[in-house]
């Protein structure tokens, strides 16, 4: 912790992911479909992946276990991104989606408890209870306002589960693989799912391939990719018990506040309570 590089990397991740969460639906609302946003995101992963590979002198672990773990981590992450871009942000607002997704440590902790036989602390269980309580509140819809349906919630929960499982497998791979190698396999699997996203695209609709479409999407998704690499180095130089709360808890707050400001929305009191519970639970889960 004497090396303050951890704080620089952690702050970059927190800021980039917070802004990314709030802006990621801008391209879709502007007429650039979520399926193509996924493809753009997958290609932005190449830039930080090349940086990571350069750092380790292009020496990636290639044994069977590393490939299996790397691809599993990558497919869970990319699958979650695909569900986010093709279902969640298409049908729901970021200020509701990202608090739910940010509760994914619940899945990681439960898998660690039941599969690895680890013991969760009282703080961890408190975070889980608050997280479970927050989800129905976040999905509450006022009968006096136009309904947005619940399809966004289904996809948000898919992302929630996928990313929670991804973190669990990252934990398994942590002692045997270099972080840069994990990121390499995440990039490869993300690109491999791109043809699926392309086939899912409704090509009959008008698509903006210009500044407001693909260019904007590239800039926004690059925030996510850079943040994913900088958090690797934040964990390398700093303690997880400090880095995790900062990135996992503060980034969603930035997303929520920016999203509410951008779209000038005042959520229902039940939803606001759910947001507060979600943020508190994220802090508690990050300390587990």
- Dist. CA 18–CA 8, nearest whole Å: 15
> What does pTM read for this prediction?
0.86
- What is each CA distance from 242 to 247, 249, 286, in whole angstroms? 9, 11, 9
Per-residue model confidence (pLDDT) at position 188: 97
Half-sphere exposure of 189 (CA within 13 A, CB side): 23
Per-residue model confidence (pLDDT) at position 66: 94
| Confidence at 288, pLDDT banded by 50, 70, 90 | low
Could you give the angle at which helices 216-237 and 5-23 cross, rounded to 10 degrees?
Answer: 150
Spatial CA neighbour of 19 closest among 274, 286, 223 = 223
Mean pLDDT check: name the lowest of 54-63, 152-161, 260-269.
260-269
Tens of pLDDT, residue by residue over 193-238, are: 999 999 999 888 888 887 778 889 999 999 999 998 888 888 777 7
- Dist. CA 167–CA 153, nearest whole Å: 21
Number of domains in the chain: 1
pLDDT at 72 over 90: yes
* DSSP 8-state symbol, 144: T
Query: In this structure, are residues 60 and 53 in contact, taking their beta carbons and an 8 Å threshold?
Result: yes
Per-residue model confidence (pLDDT) at position 176: 85
Per-residue model confidence (pLDDT) at position 250: 80
Mean pLDDT across 152-167: 92
pLDDT at 239 over 80: no
Query: In this structure, are residues 77 and 163 in contact, taking their beta carbons and an 8 Å threshold?
Result: yes
Q: Supply the mean pLDDT for the chain.
A: 87
Highest-confidence range of 19-28, 118-127, 142-151, by mean pLDDT?
Answer: 19-28
Query: In this structure, are residues 14 and 251 in contact, taking their beta carbons and an 8 Å threshold?
Result: yes
Instruction: Give the domain range for residue 100.
Output: 5-286
pLDDT at 144 over 70: no
Tens of pLDDT, residue by residue over 171-186, are: 888 778 888 999 999 9
Per-residue model confidence (pLDDT) at position 65: 93
For residue 22 the two structure tokens come to: 């709030």
């Amino acid at each position: 912790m004497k090396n303050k590089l951890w704080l620089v990397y952690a702050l970059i991740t927190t800021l980039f992911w917070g802004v990314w969460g709030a802006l990621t639906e801008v391209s879709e609302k502007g007429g650039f479909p979520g399926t193509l946003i996924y493809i753009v995101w997958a290609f932005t992963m190449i830039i930080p992946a090349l940086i990571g590979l350069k750092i380790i002198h292009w020496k990636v672990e290639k044994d069977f276990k590393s490939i299996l773990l790397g691809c599993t981590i990558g497919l869970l992450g990319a699958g979650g991104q695909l569900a986010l871009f093709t279902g969640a942000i298409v049908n729901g607002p970021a200020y509701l989606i990202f608090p739910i997704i940010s509760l994914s440590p619940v899945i990681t902790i439960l898998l660690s408890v039941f599969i690895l036989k680890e013991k969760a602390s009282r703080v961890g269980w408190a975070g889980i209870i608050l997280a479970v309580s927050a989800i129905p509140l976040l999905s509450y819809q006022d009968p006096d306002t136009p309904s947005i349906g619940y399809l966004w919630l289904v996809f948000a929960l898919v992302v929630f589960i996928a990313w929670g499982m991804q973190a669990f497998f990252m934990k398994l791979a942590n002692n045997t693989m270099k972080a840069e190698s994990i990121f390499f396999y995440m990039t490869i699997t993300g690109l491999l799912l791109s043809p699926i996203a392309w086939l899912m695209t409704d090509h009959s609709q008008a698509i903006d391939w210009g500044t407001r479409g693909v260019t904007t999407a590239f800039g926004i998704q690059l925030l996510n990719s850079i943040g994913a690499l900088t958090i690797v180095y934040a964990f390398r130089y700093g303690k997880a018990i400090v880095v995790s709360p900062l990135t996992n808890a503060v980034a969603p707050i930035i997303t929520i506040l920016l999203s509410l400001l951008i779209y000038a929305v005042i959520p229902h009191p039940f939803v606001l309570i759910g947001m507060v519970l979600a943020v508190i639970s994220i802090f508690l889960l990050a300390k587990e």
